């Protein structure tokens, strides 16, 4: 009931304002368990995808969405709680990861749709990054549920990081055909199998999205980008300091020359 109410209150206005388009909706089963594996471009991905589907989708959501202070934070927490999303502490190490996997398995055992972002975090630059095998593949192999690749299109352009007001434009969703990995039954702890399953899913997402693929984890890329930005800032600060010192020295020389001339 809460999920239905939230779809009307939030989903209705989203459809009217943004008019998102969907391709491949027929690939979502009318009933039974399935995993929706999507690229992750924007915070709004978790709003647009459930809005456009008739069935409930339960995503794993980072715990910060439930604990952020302020009006926006409370509204975000209310939304995620209202639609039954699962908070997961991503800083909790292996224990947190195991909890996320168990939660996903429980959703599928109830015959529901489980949504997951294999990249583990939002893309920092719109490209598609390497999928993490620990969650998606293990849940798929433990349950035998089909994996449906999903590509979110242009959602990162609606509200880029740091932009408060969203841009009114049409995002899109492409839904691929279900992938069956039951041939790997009982192999959910084989790291080579987990890698192969994850890479196959990421390849399908890449074909659907048209994104450039980067064979690096997004978390690693973000860390490198932050380090590069810090290094550039330090270099710019050093250059500015040197220019200031040079200007000061030039002024001192001019004053000295003027004094001698006098």
Q: Of 83-87, 116-120, 177-181, which one has max mean pLDDT?
A: 177-181
Note the pLDDT tens digit of each residue in 189-206: 899 999 999 999 999 999
User: In the numeric block, which tokens belong to residue 229?
Assistant: 């930005």
- The percentage of the chain sitting over the pLDDT mark of 70, rounded to a whole number, equals 90
Consecutive H or E run containing 126: none
CA distance 191 to 94: 15
Q: Which of 194, 203, 171, 178 is nearest to 52 (CA)?
A: 171
E strands of 117-233, at which residues?
128-129, 147-153, 172-175, 213-214
Q: Looking at 9-23, 57-71, 126-140, which range is the least confident one?
A: 57-71
Distance, in Å, from the CA atom of 91 to the CA atom of 181, rounded to the nearest integer, reads: 29
Note the pLDDT of residue 30.
95
Structure tokens, 94: 């292996």
Q: Does pLDDT of 95 surpass 60?
A: no
pLDDT for 172 beyond 80: yes
pLDDT of 75 reads 72
pLDDT of residue 243: 86
- Checking if the pLDDT of 83 tops 90, the result is no
38-82: pLDDT as tens digits? 999 998 898 899 899 999 999 877 677 677 778 777 777 776 766
Of 43-47, 91-95, 258-262, which gets the smallest average pLDDT? 91-95
Q: Work out the percent of the chain whose per-residue pLDDT is above 90.
A: 52
Nearest to 44 by CA among 141, 127, 154, 149: 154
Does the pLDDT value for residue 26 go beyond 60? Answer: yes
* Whether pLDDT at 256 is above 80: no
152 vs 45: CA distance, rounded Å: 7
Does 98 have pLDDT greater than 90? Answer: no
Q: Which residue has the tokens 């998606």?
A: 136
Which is it for the CA torsion 149, 153, 156, 159, positive or negative?
negative
The pTM is what? 0.83
Mean pLDDT of 204-220: 96
Average pLDDT over residues 243-262: 76
Identify the burial level of 107 via C-beta atoms within 10 angstroms of its C-beta, where 0-12 means exposed, 13-18 middle and 19 or more buried: buried
* pLDDT tier, 90 (very low <50, low <70, confident <90, very high otherwise): low
Q: And the tokens for 46?
A: 């978790």
For the chain, what's the residue count?
262
Average pLDDT, the chain: 87
Q: Give the position of tokens 């943004």.
A: 18
């Amino acid at each position: 009931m809460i999920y239905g109410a939230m779809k009307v209150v939030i989903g209705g206005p989203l459809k009217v304002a943004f008019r998102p388009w969907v391709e491949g909706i027929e690939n979502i089963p009318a009933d039974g368990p399935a995993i929706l594996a999507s690229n992750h471009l924007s915070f709004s991905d978790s709003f647009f995808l459930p809005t456009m589907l008739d069935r409930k989708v339960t995503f794993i959501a980072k715990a910060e969405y439930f604990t952020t202070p302020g009006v926006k934070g409370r509204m975000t927490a209310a939304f995620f709680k209202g639609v039954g999303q699962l908070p997961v502490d991503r800083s909790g190490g292996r224990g947190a990861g195991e909890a996320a996997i168990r939660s996903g398995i429980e959703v599928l055992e109830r015959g529901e749709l489980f949504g997951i972002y294999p990249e583990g975090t939002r893309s920092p630059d719109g490209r598609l990054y390497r999928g993490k095998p620990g969650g998606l593949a293990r849940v798929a192999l433990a349950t035998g549920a089909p994996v449906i690749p999903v590509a979110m299109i242009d959602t990162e352009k609606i509200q880029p990081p740091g932009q408060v007001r969203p841009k009114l434009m049409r995002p899109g969703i492409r839904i691929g055909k279900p992938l069956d990995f039951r041939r790997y039954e009982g192999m959910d702890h084989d790291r080579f199998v987990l890698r192969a399953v994850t890479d196959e899913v990421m390849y399908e997402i890449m074909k659907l999205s048209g994104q450039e693929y980067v064979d690096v984890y997004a978390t690693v890329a973000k860390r490198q980008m932050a380090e590069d930005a810090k290094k550039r800032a330090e270099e710019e600060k050093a250059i500015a300091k040197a220019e200031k010192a040079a200007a000061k020295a030039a002024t001192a020389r001019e004053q000295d020359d003027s004094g001698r001339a006098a």
